[in-house]
Chains A and B, each alone.
Chain A
């Protein structure tokens, strides 16, 4: 990773218009995360953690400040460059899984390859083996439990071998046993060199992380 950062935020702020009102979602945030880092972003609902995740995930540009992802400054990047970065360097895991209900488990995992134009059938199977779902390749998402669906979503997020994995409340829909299993997977991925950012409102989830970032009213407070 260039300059020793998986990603780097310099005095980043993000404002939104809500009617006539301007809402500050993220305020003057600076954050450096090295390659292979494992951080948890913790805060209450509405504190700005998802906005921070979107900024790191190249889904949005900052209103102020600069962001570097894998050595590329993206705060003024073209949309095509952001898409390229999302395809190649970033994996997303969300609370709601977002699996396509009419595609099999294997096909769901392979889906991002459609947009990155990569072909690596073997990797999808390897990833499903890693998340211990290789016996469910042909099942549809509706035939899986919540924990299994999230494991499929993680495998899908890893299909393009991203260097950064962003997870927004990944255990929010899971019971404690499945939540532990998912967090165990993140730890395993991190040990293999993937930079992991987990956004959660539950501080207990973040105990295994290298670093915990508390955010409140859009500011990092610790």
Chain B
């Protein structure tokens, strides 16, 4: 005979109630697990995409909301703001600067609004700022009408190197000079065309969406940024890639706050559910508990017994919830992607892992144990003679 056996047997008295209580904790654990994996996943994806997977240290953009600039840079869209090509040569002369890559981004949406294609006008400097730029077939542009396809676009269009691609919007044919290897960034979904061609297609000759800069020594980033700022007209921004990602994280903050509120609400509901259930379980068994005291159960014995009952529910519910959270995180990531106003990086924005599952599990087990304190104290305080006399 062990405390564990008695505790588990007590849970079998009302299995539906025990399961429902466990499920309330499971919801908390799952919510916590999903929110943590989304939070971590989003931060990692943005950092990967904007900081780690590019060799870009600084961006020059036109004045405006930095987040808008970020969205323009990373997602496409024909911003009314532009940077003049003149700045490229000025920056290129700086000794701290290794590579300067001007680019033009724009998007083309079909008339029915169902599809948006992102075009990026680039120069050969792209090869120096994108370390994982590799071709699965073909290579660099052969003419002004060449296009390099991101891996996902090649898959969707079912096009191969050397084939022609017709753009109805521009009434122009492009020959596919190369197809990129999949690198799980925005590049997978972009049509890359020569910079001059891009400017010509949207009637923005001599104008750029932004300029990406790679430095010789990243340690000089702050000083170089200040130097370039001083060179630029007042209405231009010089953003570090980390500032860009941090700006996006700030924008993501409101979404994060909503998610945290969801976790707190789920936890509060669980807390009330568990306290209520365990209190009912104690009150229903007052006479039995009184008898246990008669046969020598001390306060600590009863605290242990009630805590073990709660622990069993908490462990089962939290384990189910943490596992469910890990399983549901990718689905939740896709849902969040639909509703997210902030910049959405490519690839999965949910990154569940064992650490998150363990954290959610531990937190919810602790919540369960804390919830057992009051019912356990009520059980420990039962005065046998009062219960046995009055009931």
Q: Does A54 contact B (CB under 8 A)?
A: yes
Q: Does B135 contact A (CB under 8 A)?
A: no
Which stretch, A113-121, A182-190, A207-215, touches the partner chain B? A113-121
Contacts of B1 in A (CB 8 A): 107, 110-111, 113-114
**Does the CB pair B12–A112 fall under 8 Å?**
no
Q: Does A7 contact B (CB under 8 A)?
A: no
**Residue from B10, B288, B291, B384 with most neighbouring chain A CB atoms (10 Å):** B291
**Does the CB pair B295–A87 fall under 8 Å?**
yes
Closest-CB distance, A69 to chain B (whole angstroms): 14
Q: Which of A60-87 contact B (CB under 8 A)?
A: 60, 80, 83-84, 86-87
Closest-CB distance, A137 to chain B (whole angstroms): 13
Closest-CB distance, A30 to chain B (whole angstroms): 21
Which stretch, B80-88, B197-205, B296-304, touches the partner chain A? B296-304
Q: Which of A109-164 contact B (CB under 8 A)?
A: 110-116, 156-157, 160
**Does the CB pair B12–A102 fall under 8 Å?**
yes
Contacts of B13 in A (CB 8 A): 101-102
Number of interface residues of B (CB under 8 A): 24
Q: Does B388 contact A (CB under 8 A)?
A: yes
Q: How far is the CA of A54 from the CA of B10 in the complex (A)?
A: 27
Q: Mark B111-125, 1 if CB is under 8 A from A, else 0.
A: 000000000000000
Q: Is the interface on chain A under 10, 10 to 19, 20 to 34, or 35 or more residues? A: 20 to 34
Q: How far is the CA of A127 from the CA of B250 in the complex (A)?
A: 72
> When the two chains form the complex, which single residue of A84, A86, A107, A156 contacts B5, counting CB atoms closer than 8 Å?
A107
Q: Report the nearest A residue to B11, measured CB to CB.
A: A102
Q: Report the nearest A residue to B2, measured CB to CB.
A: A114
**Does the CB pair B301–A98 fall under 8 Å?**
no
> When the two chains form the complex, which single residue of B3, B291, B292, B298 contacts A80, counting CB atoms closer than 8 Å?
B298
Q: How far is the CA of A27 from the CA of B297 in the complex (A)?
A: 29
If A51-B389, A168-B388 are given as contacts, then 5 extra A-B residue pairs at C-beta distance below 8 Å, sorted by A number, are A50-B389, A59-B294, A100-B288, A107-B9, A112-B296
